Structure formats: structure tokens, C-alpha cells
Structure 1
Amino acid sequence: MVKRLIPALLALAAVLAWAGPAAAHGRSGEADVRFAQTIAGMEITVVVRASVAVPSPLQVDVVAHEPGPGGRLDLELRSIEDGGSSSGSVRIEADRPGMYPLVLAVDRVGPHELELRAGGERSVLPFAVLVPETPLWEVVVYAAFACAAVALIGALVGAALARRAVAAGFAGGFAVATVVAFTAGLLSPWFAPTVPEGAPPAPPPEQLLGRPNAQPVIEVLPGRPAPGTEFRLRVELFDGSTGRPADDLVEHHGALSHVVVTSQDGSYFRHVHPIRTGPGTYEVRLRTETAGRHRVYAEFERADAGGQLVSGEFTVAGAGTAAEEEDEARSGASGPAPVLQPARPVAGRPVRITLDAGTADLQPWLGMAGHLIVRSDDGGYLGHVHEAGSMAAENPPDESVARYGPMLEFTFSFPRPGRYLAWIQYARNYRIVTVPHVIEVAAEGSPR
């Protein structure tokens, strides 16, 4: 009997593997959507919770990491296909970080826009409302177990009535159904995931190699801001092939774009998330007390392409002081400095960087327990890695769960010898803590 089952089981595995369509770029239907935004003087993360069905209420949590002056935040969800909308608002309290929930309504899957408005600023964030599809292997497992239950009852009834042939037939059906159910369950990790309802279609064959890099235009308005005055940093992205706005960014580590701004000496440091003000255009309001040259680094990911890092610079006019910037750059940090293993890194070799955050009550920010940002002294190089433990977590908790720490560990390889500026960031009580550090990297073969 087992030999007779083998061809059937192989055919079942082939059908299940063939039935799994190619997954389109993006998230699964069970995953939340996260958009970090620096808007109206606040650093927030908007979390759109996953939907299990539509139409239905849509839970949205606004996580205020740096609430700043606070104020009202208006949100409007719009369907791209039919224009249907739902709106709501939360009032973020000044200097009170935390979660601010609201409920919107969604009546269809597919492409949507989430519009944010606060303090005279407006950001429009594109995303897709997805509903998970039941995988075929799961349907097979449940159907096979149902058949096994019916067959078992039939076998018991046949035995009770002393009808051996009937009992034997049902017993054989029970065995076959049970083997099919367990086989489909055991093979499920090897089958392609199902594409959730509402997901964008897979790219055509000509785009399988990815899209071209985006070309940036980075500028500040006004063009030469004075120390202590507010200015706008604008990053415009254009398709390297067509010259049109590159307006196809996807969620990348909890944001559409990550921007790091540092003064040349590193006393000024900001890790921000610009608002989307137009197709391919991202802006953020900043203020610095430090005069002189400033470096800008923008990290993002285009749909059906890999991550990309672009850079630029601007100059702050006049004479300024870095004292206030140094205090602000440390941003709530206290305790011991990071520990390096080896103590003096060598270029081209991995180094382990460990920070003792004091207590095991850290919360994830941008999907990770910690972030390490490294810049070469001349500003020509920027690296960004995540805390090792949280990277290994298959299902990390959301921002409300404080379970990480106290030790944060990073692994990094410095490309060249020299002086590097480093910043470690993590979240505690929803606030972002920044720990600056200076690292001297030796050349290969140099005395330590």
C-alpha cells in the first residue's frame, strides 16, 4: 500500500509547489506597515496594522518617539482605485512619548494612500492594503484531516456491524488521508508563499534584473541657512533611465527613506525620516547651530530593486557653536561607552561593538533593537548596521513591547584605516537615545 501511495504523494508535492505563485516585492499579508516620519517637529512612526478581511475597521497606531511641541495629527486613508476615503485624527501631547491609537475604515484591497497633516506640513504615503490568502497546502491539510475523520467513523461503524470489507475500505481511506495531511504539512516550508490579495503583480520578465539606480538632487531652502534658523532639506529622486521622478519607493526598515545629516566635525547628528511632499520628493525641516559644511546621506529602496545610498552636502553660513549640538547629539545617553573587540579594530576585519544600555527594557525602533551608524572622518563613507540579536528574531515585537537589552551587539567591518565617527541609537520609553563614539581603525599589519 505504501508503494502505491508514493506516486500520489509525489504528484501532490508537485501540484503544491507549482501552485505557489511568484511572490511580488513587498510584505506578506500578515505584516503591519510602518512609516517613520519627521513631521511638524515630531519624530513619529505610523503603524498600519494588518487586515484579515475587508471591508473592516483598520487599526492605526501613531508612535510618538520625539513628540516635540505636540499637536494634532490628521490622517486620511484613500483608495487609489475608487477614491473611497476614511479619516481620523490624534492629538499628540507635548513631551509625552507613547502610542496614540485610532481606527479608520477600509473597504477594499489594493493600492491606497495615507495622508498625514500636522503643523502646516503634509505627507502622502503610498502602500497596499493586503489580505492574506490561504495557502493551498493548508487547504489540503484540513481537507485531508476531514476525510480522515469521516473514514475513521466509517471504519468504526463497519467494524461494529461486522462488515469487514467496509471497515477495511474505510480504514485504508483513513490511512491515505492521514498520510496526505502529514505530508503536505511537513513539506509546507518548501512551497512558495502565497501572494496576498491586493498585492501588486510580479514584475515583467524584463524587470527581473531590477530598476536602475535613482539619481538624487539634494538641496536646502534657503540655499545657505544661518545658524539657529530653520531650513528645509529636500531630496529629489529621479530614475536613472528615464529622468522622471523615482516615485516607487517601498517600505525599507520601517520608512520610505532614512536621512542622516551630520556636520563635518560630527557634533551635529540627525537621523530623520522626510515626509513625501510630491512624486519622488522628500523634505524635512531642520535647525543647526553649527556653521560650516554638513553632509547628507539618504538611504531607500525602490520596488523590485535593492537598497541604495545617495549623498550630498550643504553649508551653514556664519559662525556657530557646536556645544549645544554635542549635548543634543548625545540625546539622553548615559552609562558606559561602547566596548570594541578587538579594542583597536583593523581595517577589513570584523569587529564586535557592544553597548551596555543598563536594563532590559528597550523597545524596537525601525524594526530593530538598535542601530549603528558609522561615518568616516572625511565624510566620504557611511555605514549602517543593525543590532545582531534583533536581526535574528523571526517575529520581533512591535514598539509597545520593551524586551530588548541590556546588551546591544553589532558586528562591523571598517573598509579603511583612520578615524571614524559612530552613533548607536535605541529606544527606551519610546524615546530615541543616541550614543556617539569615536573609533580609531588601524591598518593591516600595524602595531596595536
Structure 2
Amino acid sequence: MTTDAATPGLWRNGPFLRLWTGQTASSVGTQLGGLAIPVLAVSVLQATPFQVGLLGAVQTAAFLVIGLPAGAWVDRWLKRRVMLFADLARAVVLASVPILFFAGVLSIWQLIIIGAIVGVASVFFDVAYQSYLPVLVAPTRLAEGNSKLETTGQLARVAGPAISGALLAIVRPAILVGIDALTFLFSFLALTAIRDREVAQPKADRQKLVTEIREGLSFVFHEPLLRRIVLTTSTTNLFGSLALTMIPILVLRQLDISPVVYGIGISIGAVGGLLGAMFSARIARAIGEGTAIPVSGVVAAIAIIGLALMSVFPGAAVPIFVVSEFLYSFAVLVYNIAQVTFRQRICPPRLLGRMNASIRFVVWGVLPIGGLASGLLSTAIGLEPTIIIGAVGSVLACAFVVFSPLLGMGRMPQHATTSP
């Protein structure tokens, strides 16, 4: 078996460094746009709670609608080429936001359509992206690769909202969305410089699309530990989106916190995610690779309860927001690095795209449902009760991994327990 010592480090892996560079720029831009778009919707276009919920829903609806076939297609195609097309598509549609805005014709419904197109491109990019890392990186370096990518992603989450919040004091939100488009273009250029040896799946080896989709789903749900992780992630995402979709309205409108303070608060909280990415491997060694998953899942769910408490203690809303964001980001990064590394490690290479797409379908496909339900519930019963329901549900969702062999497990399995 190849050891870490025998495998060249990632600092000398040119293709990985180019992927890393492009994704760092893209992550910064995504954070700029991620704050600018809800501010644009809430503060400029005066979106209703239902429209905000719909905007959040359409950005992830593609995972529910085309997530499964996307995985089978990605397994057939060259993954880098898929990412290139996705980056270019996102750059073009996001660049239309400032154009429409300064032409005086941008509406919330146009923003929702743009969000849907970006969501479709993101489905293909994300499935290809997580399936592409094992192409560039040796199996013994997967955890290191995921950690590096997540660390810079968290650095972007730290710097992005603070920069965005500061820029929102002097420029319009639509301009920040335009900057987001430029970062996707930069990512596109970085990916074009990568040279790899990936070969597209021969047509003779392809089966019917339905058969290939079924094979990916079967692998996910026949792996006992992976099945429990997917169930927890999916249920937590459902209830989490129910709560988190309404946080911008709660903070910006109901608690009357300025976009600048909101952005800075997210950045300070995101430091927790940066630390989670940096120390995830140490935490896994200290408490066990398996144990790290249920423990971090519970901490993330408790942090959502903290966000719900902002409306109960409005005088302390800003510090509660910062602390909750810190804990949530820290725990989510520890959780994600542990479970993504586990599933990349045990999955046969030919199933990577379908495995990742199947998981995304289940765990991200619930996000538009939660976002839409958030808008409808907020309209029917109010903002605070909706957020509380989402927070409590997130805690209960952790039962799948808490009451499982994961709790107390030191070393996670290195291979699949079922035949692919």
C-alpha cells in the first residue's frame, strides 16, 4: 500500500495547485455574491418572505431535478470539461445582473431565473469537482486535498462577507454580483491550464442511463455507515434551510442590523469554519474519525438554535449571531471533511460521479423544499416560529449518526463493505 511518505506532497502537484487557485478565487467571489444577492433582493428589490424563500429554493432546485442524471453524465464525460462549461455559464449569467440593474429593468423574478440557471451549472460543477479530485490526487492525499480546499474556502468565507459588507457601504449590490462573475471567469482560466490523463468512459462500456443512476443510488444506500451519514445530512439540510433561509430578513429587516454589520458578523463567525478546516484531522485523531461525525453534527445543529435565539434576545442579537455562526461554521467543516474523505476513499473510481450525484440529490435536493417551505411557513405563522421549527428539527435529525456505530469509532473503513 502507498504511504503518505512515498506520495509526492500536494505543494508539488501542479494540476492540484491550479485547481486550488481557481477555486480560491471562485470561493471569494461566491461569498461576495452570496451576501450581495439576498441584500439586493431584500433591501433594493423589496422582496417578500415568499420571494426570498423562492430565490433560495431555485438556487438548489437543480440538485433535485437533474441531480441524478447529472452524476451519470459526469461519469461518462471528462470532468474538467464539465467544470469549464459550468464556470463559463455562471460567469455569463451573473454578469447580466449589473447590466439589467443599471438598465433599470432588474426585477426579483429575473433574479430568481438567474439563480435557477446558476443552480443548474453548480450541479454539474460540484458533482464533477468532487469526482475530479481523486483524478489529480493519490488516495493517501485525499484528506489533505479536501482540507486544503476547505481551508481556503473558509478563508474566503472569512474575508468575503467582511469585504462585501464594507463594499456595500459604498457600492451597489449589483456591482458585487458582477465581481462574482469575474471570479468564475478566473476559475475557468485556471482550469484551462490543468493537464491530466483522464479518459472519457468508452461508449461501449456505457449502460442505459436509468441503470447507471440505479447503480449509484444502490452503492450509497447499501453502505451502512454512508447511508446513516446521508440520512442525517439530508434531514439536517431540510430543517436547516427552513431556518437559515429567513435569517437575512430577520437580521436586516426585523432586527434592523445594517448590511455592513451583517457582513462583518458572518466573517467573524466564519473564522470558526477556518479553524474547523485546519484542525479537522487533529480532531478526528483525538476523538476518532467516526466519532467526529456525530459530534460535529450535533454542535452544528445547536448553533442553529443559537440563531433562533436572536429574536428572543434582540439586545444581544449581534454577539449571539457571531457566536452561533462561529460554532456552525466550525462544526460543519469538521463534519464535511470527515464524511467527504470517507466516501471518496471507499467509492470505486468508476462510480465517483454517480455516488457524489446520488448523495447531492438526497442531501441538497431537500434544500429547495426547505427554502420554499420556509417562505410559505413564514407567511402563514411568522418568521420566528419558522426559524424555531427548523432549529429543533436540525437537532433531532442528528439521531441517525448519534445512535449508530459511528459514535465511538476510531478508524473509518478504508474500503466499501458491499460489492459495487
User: TM-score normalized by structure 1?
Assistant: 0.28
- The structure with more strand, counted as a fraction of residues: 1
- The structure with more helix, counted as a fraction of residues: 2
User: TM-score normalized by structure 2?
Assistant: 0.29
Bigger CA radius of gyration: 1
Tell which has more relative contact order, 1 or 2 (C-alpha 8 A, sep 6+).
2
